[in-house]
Amino acid sequence: MQNKKPNILDLEICNQKLLNMNAQERIEWGYDIFNEDFALTTSFGLQSSVLLHLIQNSRIQNKVKIFWIDTGYLPPETYIYADKLTKLLSLKVEVLQSHLSPARMEAVYGKLWENKNSGDLDKYHRIRKIDPLENGLSKYSIKCWVSGVRAEQTNNRSKMKVIDQIRNRYSLRPLLGWTKKEVFYYMKDKDLPQHPLFLQGYSSVGDWHSSTPESEDTQGRKTRFGGIKEECGLHTED
């Protein structure tokens, strides 16, 4: 399905306005502009409860589609956490998955993460993450999607704007300027549960085969993808 041509926004003016808004106001601003063509994505990762809580306690509660990209390789703890948050926050979540099952993908391409090279990881992320997201967004003609990326997570994200265009859609990042400490205390103040792997030393959680706890030498997003990459491609144009 072809994407609708996105609303034409003056991104410089929009970003100036958004800098003066808090995270919840940014989400509501996005909905006011895009209405039913607006969606939120979640990974049910370590900080996912913040964005989900913000939207469920806003004036647009239950009006925004929520997509979860399930790669089929998430840790058991993430599936348990997703179920817990879904019930706690009364969420309606649509699961997005690849048209290739994990078993079929491995039969055709092998275990792409085991080769520890960037090209195979790119193919893995395209099959299991990017294509499912794009198919889901296209299904509903979504023009703007919200994610929980933060500037301090990676060098690439430190250069991002609150709203920008990616793959012919707008990407809104309400938490872009938040620190890890702000995320922690928001969750504490709102009595939101921690992801089980947070208590085991993880600072970032994705698929079971590409996420490890922090160590003296490896921290943050460098604990992902064997240190080969910091981004899975969802939030980059390439």
Known catalytic residues are: 232
Range 85-94 burial, b when 16+ CB lie within 10 A, else e = bbeebebebe
Residue pair 75/46 in contact (Cβ under 8 Å)? The answer is: no
Residue pair 45/78 in contact (Cβ under 8 Å)? The answer is: yes
Of 169, 117, 119, which Cα lies nearest the Cα of 141?
169
Helix (H), strand (E) counts: the chain: 8, 6
Q: How far apart are CA 94 and CA 206, in angstroms?
A: 18
Of 76, 50, 89, 70, which Cα lies nearest the Cα of 197?
76
166 Ramachandran zone, left/alpha/beta (phi>0; psi -120 to 50): beta
For 155, other C-beta atoms within 10 Å of its C-beta total: 10
Q: In terms of C-beta density within 10 A (0-12 exposed, 13-18 middle, 19 or more buried), how is residue 214 classed?
A: middle
Q: How far apart are CA 75 and CA 57, in angstroms?
A: 28
Q: Which residue has the tokens 């990326």?
A: 149
